[in-house]
A and B are shown apart, each in its own frame.
Chain A
Amino acid sequence: MKTLNKRIKRNIKNNLSFYLISTILTMLITAFIIAAASTGNTLTDLIQDYMKRLKVENAEFSTYITIPDDEITRLEKEYDVLLEENSYKDIKEGEKTLRVFKNHTKVNLSETRDGREAAGLFEGTLTENFAKENGISVNDLYSFGGMEFVVTGYTTKGDYLFMLKDAGDMFRDNVNFGIIIVTAETYDRIEAEEKTCYAVIYNQKENELDFRKRVNMDYIMKSYIAKDSNPRISSPESEGEGVSGMAKKLSPILFIIVIALVVMVLGRMIRSEQTLLGTFMALGVTRSEIIRHYVIYGIIPGIVGSVLGLGLSVPFTKAFSAFYIENDYEKLIYETEYNIPACLVALILPSLLYVLTVLIVSRKLLKASAIELLNNTGKDTKTINILKERRIRTGLKLKVRSIVGHPGRSAVTVLGVMIASILLLLGFVMKTLMTDMMENGIKETIGYEYLYYLNYLGDMDTIPEGSEGASPVLTVYYEIPSSTNQVNIWGVDKSSEYFKMKTMDGEDVDLNGYYITNVASNVWKVKKGDTLTFYSIADLSEHSVEISGIIDDNMHTYMYTSIENASRLAGFDGVHYNAMVSGTSIPISADIVASTVVMSEHSALFEELMGPIDAVVYIIIVFGALLCIFIMYLVINMIVGESKTGISVMKVLGFSKKEIGSRVLDVNMILVIIGFLVGIPLTFKVAEVGFADTIEEFGIYFKAELNLRTAVGLLIGFVIIFIAYEISLLLQKRKIAKINMVEALKENRRNE
């Protein structure tokens, strides 16, 4: 037994690289899976807690006729809802908008920090991000738009966790948009136009439709946004789900493949020791003693790796949580929560799998007799009768056969490089897809530069003054059953030059039909020829149209049709428009324009929306590169370990380092290239899984395809893989140089 113990110490020393790298890999992947799952938990629970505590609305709506206060109470009783006026006034100063709310008591409450609620006249609590960006502190006197407020504290308003000025906006702007919450008395004194709207919470979900119909009947619904369609609320909610989803989908894949790789290398290591196993058997060590000792090979990286990983997951989780929560939203008070099942799985699974591998492999080996084991060199050599012609140099024969003749090792190498490539390329591919989207996504599909939303419904016979060269459009949102993404139906003038579009099949768009964008097609799973059903937001009337074709736009959930069709769907008499589009800026009166969108500015702002995803991608790139380097080292370590005796013999025979390298090691570059190439299509698949959530969350569809940009990403990826390979080899070559030739030969002795 003492020899066996000594032997294990020696093995650990000899295989230090394996233990080190497999422990590090286990540690990193353990930390990652725990952090991902825990961040998902933290985020989901935090947002849910806020939604509940601050009584965030189920929906927000506006009506043409104001609902009187006593009617509100009646409606509340009759439909078992909480209903409160959620009106506000916007004060403007230059580019900046300060939105003033009264403090609510029933729906959409707010949380005050670092001070107290407003009590006196012209006191107010301010959203913290806006305050910080504009250099305002608690107790400051803040003058804005000709008014002066005493800032009594910071606030977070439940329905404004994600601070969008308009619910239709995609981007938040902390510099130019803030909220101040004041007393009713102050609110009444503010001289700005009031936007009246209502917020509702349904205590009984099934009352929603009846309630909406009743409101529409009595007060005429002007707009209605369910919270799932309101990004101010749905964005933080779905981000939690997104992170959890990513944690549930992507990180188990990563976890399993990394663990699987370690398992394979571990299995090979034990198999390559079968001569030694035979020696022990011949010496009379019992099988269970042998197995017990080999188990240590698996337990060390398993337990040390996952325990260190558990420790590392604490700062990882803190960083991930801070990143998601503190970057995107108004200040939220939170504590990181750990996902206990993930911790347990990450803690137990690696050790379990490693030990299981050791057990299976060593038991299988021990079935053979000592003699059989002793007579086998422990390498899965296949004698292959290829390239036997005399004129071929033995160097080449050796290279080819070292790959073909060791199918197990070659397979693990290819697999390892493939995994390393996926980990590395994933981030690059995601990044290039996003950059691609940013630069081409909007401009390619949209032919106009300016979009003017009008504040009235125009008749086609009277086009506003100064709008020559522009085209009238009617854009109306409709609800899609069981989807959080509303469809925006664009009724466009058939003669307009801005909508000469083609379908993805290459056909011209005939605006008498109904065309949806690619992202809409993917979100709602409808194809050309299918029927799409949607509801009017006001009266919930149902409409169905047959889809005539798909337009290549991965960013907007739009449907295009003629302005006549759109007017009919909206239930208008005659043909109407509510917006104008134009290639150039047009001199129409500012009085009739509700808001203007400049498409190129829009695409610049898209970058900001992508900010958080962008940062995730950088994490993936760095983490992937790290894992990639370690995996490459693990694989090269295995190759060198298995070729060690051969290398020593060649050294003894007088081959130079260069000759040995070219005959034994360099040939593996072919396997590296194969692994990399196989990894590319798989990376695209994994990237699509990773982006799957963005379809629901943002209504953006990422298409993973090979183009010039992704090709550059792949090339960079390959260079990194190549460098990782060369560095690993270099480190190993130094190790080889240090391998005492004598020692290495002794390793192979039978009667040691």
Chain B
Amino acid sequence: MFIEGKNLVKKYGKGDATVWALNHADFEIGKGKIAVILGPSGSGKSTLLNILGGLDTADEGSITVDGEKLSDMSQKALEKYRRNDLGFVFQSYNLTPDLTALENVEMTAELTADPLNTDELMKKLGLGEHLHHFPKELSGGQQQRVAIARAMVKKPKLLLCDELTGALDSKSSKEVLQLIEQVNRDYGTTIVIITHNELIAGMADRVLRIKDGKVVSDTVNNAKIKAEEMEL
């Protein structure tokens, strides 16, 4: 399997106040698939994603991505992993405000030796007319598209999206999710989306439900629909 999480435990606090953000969670995700991790607020989704992204480490258990065990990696190796193999899209976009849309993408392009052509990518993601706009001159949906372009320009193996539509209206959400589909199709990138929005599950190859830090169900979505057709 491309991603394998086994027996993951993450605790916050001590004694009575201990919060089990992850409580022996197990899961698998195949290469080139779109996986949606669903769960109510506070269920441990972000914690899981952060561990998957090498931003945080688990207290117990192991996690492997493309045969590499993240739990054994040094900080330096994790930095390299994030730099070369990973794309990240956040709910709050987090673009660099001092750089234009294009420059935001170029900045990450400079991180890898063989990035995608930025102009082409931007055009493909519908940003052709906004290349020279600064983030604050763009709408939320447009900013999120720039964020996706920024993540994709370095051709990551894995794209992690944390509540990426959380701050968007339904129209923009749909457009952004369509882009995610497009990226998955065009570049074969494995994509993990975490959300509390049940409706997004429709576009996934695989749906993991998480509750109180435990994976409570793991289903292959046989009725996969296009993002365009989803009722958000």
The interface of chain A, by Cβ under 8 A from chain B, is: 377, 379, 381, 383, 388, 393-395, 397-398, 401-402, 405, 645-646, 649-650, 652-656, 740-742, 745, 748-751
Contact = CB atoms under 8 A, between A and B. Distances in A.
A654 B82 contact: yes
B103 interface: yes
B221 interface: no
B98 A654 contact: no
B108 A653 contact: yes
A388 B99 CA distance: 10
A401 B90 CA distance: 24
B99 A379 contact: no
Contact of B53 (A381, A393, A401, A652): A652
Nearest to A650: B96
Given A654-B82, A749-B91, A405 B55 contact: no
Interface stretch (B131-139, B168-176, B180-188): B131-139
Interface of B: 46, 50, 53, 55-56, 79-84, 86, 88, 90-92, 94, 96-100, 103, 106-108, 110-111, 132, 134, 136-137, 150, 166-167
A649 B110 contact: no
Most buried by B among A395, A652, A656, A751: A652
Nearest to B108: A653
Nearest to A655: B111
A653 B111 contact: yes
A742 B107 contact: no
Most buried by A among B80, B110, B132: B110
- Nearest 7 A-B pairs (CB), nearest first? A654-B83, A654-B82, A401-B98, A394-B107, A383-B134, A649-B94, A741-B55
Given A654-B86, A742-B55, A398 B97 contact: no
A656 B94 CA distance: 18
Contacts of A405: 98
Given A405-B98, A654-B79, A740 B56 contact: yes
A416 B98 CA distance: 23
14 contacts: A377-B97, A377-B136, A398-B98, A401-B99, A646-B96, A650-B96, A652-B88, A654-B80, A654-B83, A741-B50, A741-B56, A745-B92, A749-B92, A751-B166
A338 B172 CA distance: 68
Contact of B100 (A388, A402, A748): A388
A748 B107 contact: no
Given A383-B134, A402-B98, A751-B167, 14 more contacts: A377-B97, A381-B97, A388-B132, A394-B103, A394-B110, A395-B110, A398-B96, A401-B98, A652-B88, A654-B80, A656-B83, A740-B56, A741-B55, A741-B56
A160 to B, nearest CB: 70
Most buried by B among A653, A749, A751: A653
Contact of B103 (A381, A397, A646): A397
A617 B60 CA distance: 60
A397 B97 CA distance: 12
A742 B56 contact: yes
Nearest to B106: A394
B151 to A, nearest CB: 8
Contact of A649 (B81, B83, B96): B96
Given A652-B53, A656-B79, A742-B50, A393 B110 contact: yes
Contacts of B46: 742
A748 B94 contact: yes
A506 to B, nearest CB: 55
B83 A381 contact: no
A381 B134 CA distance: 10
A336 to B, nearest CB: 51
A649 B111 CA distance: 14
Contacts of B136: 377, 381, 383
A750 B108 CA distance: 25
A381 B107 CA distance: 19
Nearest to B109: A394
A401 B98 CA distance: 6
B96 to A, nearest CB: 6
Contacts of B53: 652
A383 B137 contact: yes
Contacts of B84: 654
Contacts of A383: 134, 136-137
Contact of B98 (A381, A652, A741, A750): A381
Contact of A653 (B81, B82, B99, B166): B82
A749 B163 CA distance: 11
Contacts of A649: 90, 94, 96
Nearest to B118: A390
A740 B51 CA distance: 12
Most buried by A among B94, B134, B137: B94
Contact of B55 (A379, A394, A652): A652
B88 A653 contact: yes
A648 to B, nearest CB: 8
B66 to A, nearest CB: 16
Contacts of A742: 46, 50, 55-56
Nearest to B85: A654
A643 to B, nearest CB: 10
Contacts of B110: 393-395
